[in-house]
Amino acid sequence: MKEQYLQNHKEFVLKKGFTVINSVFTDNEVELITEAIQKADTSRENFRKSDDLFAVRQFLKEVPEVKELIFNETVKTIIREIFGDKYFVVKSIYFDKPETSNWYVAYHQDLTVSVDKKIEIDGFGPWTTKKNQFAVQPPLPVLENIYTIRIHLDDTDENNGALKIVPESHAKGIYRPETIDWNIETEEICNVEKGGIMIMKPLILHGSNRTTDGRRRRVIHIEFSDLELPEELQWSERMN
C-alpha cells in the first residue's frame, strides 16, 4: 500500500476517529483464518458459545495459528505507517454473531484496558474482574493512545449490524452516551467489505443495530498501544 494513501487514512482517523480500508485480506486469507478458528479447542474458558454469540477472549493467545495469517505484510505496513513503529498488541477478541443473533449494542466508548493484576494505583479505576481477567479504566492519555483494528471476515453493512459511530467524538474525552446532542452530532454507518478492516480510536462513540437480513458477522478486534503502564502493572495480552 502506497505511503501517501496510508497517510490520508492516518489523517482521517486522527480527525474523525475512524477509517475503513478494504481489500487488506484476500478471500483465500480469510478462508485460512476461518479454518484456524474452526479448529480451535472451544472448551477452554476464554471461549464463550451460545445460540446468539460465539466469542473468544485473548484471541491471539488462544488461537496462535492465526497470528502469521493476520499480520501479513499489508497489516504490518498499516500499523507502522498509521500508528507508529513502536506499537504492540494489548488486547484481542474474536466474535461471531451468527445469522440467528439479533444483538443490539447501544452507543458507548471502549473505556477499559486488560491488565495482569489488580493493584491500587492513582488514576486507574474502576476495576472489573471476570474469570481471573482484570480490566480497568486507565487515565485518559492511555485511552487516547490506543488504536483498534477490526478485521471483517464477512461483508458488513447496515443490514447485518455494521458499526455506527459519531464522527469526531473520540476527541471529546469521556463522553456519556446519554448526553449526545443529535442537533450537533451526526451518525455514520461503517460498511466494511469481507477482507477489509476498520481502524478506530476506542474513545469514539460506537454501537450497532440489530441484524435485519439474517447474514452473520464475524470480526477480529485487536487493540494496539506503544505505552508502558506505570509501576508493576502490565498489559495482560502484550504481544510484539
To 5 degrees, how large is the angle CA 18–CA 24–CA 25? 135
Cβ atoms within 10 Å, residue 98: 17
Which DSSP letter does residue 144 get?
H
Cell of 67: 497470528
46 belongs to a structural domain: yes
Residues of the chain with pLDDT under 50: none
151 belongs to a structural domain: yes
- CA-CA distance, 239 to 235, in Å (whole number)? 9
- CA-CA distance, 71 to 102, in Å (whole number)? 31
Q: Residues 146, 90: contact at Cβ < 8 Å?
A: yes
Query: At 225, is the secondary structure helix, strand, or coil?
Result: strand
157 belongs to a structural domain: yes
pLDDT digits (tens, 9 = 90+) for 113-147: 999 999 999 999 999 998 788 999 999 999 999 99
Average of per-residue pLDDT values in the chain: 93
Residue 200 sits at φ, ψ, to 5 deg, of: -145, 155
Largest CA distance in the chain: 49
183 belongs to a structural domain: yes
Q: What is the pLDDT of residue 129?
A: 92
39 belongs to a structural domain: yes
Instruction: Report whether the peptide linkage leading into residue 202 is cis, meaning its omega lies within 30 degrees of zero.
Output: no
Cell of 62: 488462544
- Could you tell me the residue range of the domain that residue 65 belongs to? 3-108+146-225
Q: What is the pLDDT of residue 102?
A: 65
Q: What is the pLDDT of residue 52?
A: 66
179 belongs to a structural domain: yes
Identify the CATH number of the domain in which residue 49 sits. 2.60.120.620
CB burial of 150-179 (b: ≥16 within 10 Å; e: otherwise) equals: bbbbbbbeebbbbbbbbbebbeeeebeeee
237 belongs to a structural domain: no
Number of domains in the chain: 1
- CA-CA distance, 186 to 170, in Å (whole number)? 13
127 belongs to a structural domain: no
- CA-CA distance, 199 to 20, in Å (whole number)? 6
To 5 degrees, how large is the angle CA 173–CA 175–CA 178? 175
Write out the DSSP string of 6-51.
HHHHHHHHHHHSEEEE--SS-HHHHHHHHHHHHTS-TTSTTEEEET
Q: Residues 196, 20: contact at Cβ < 8 Å?
A: yes
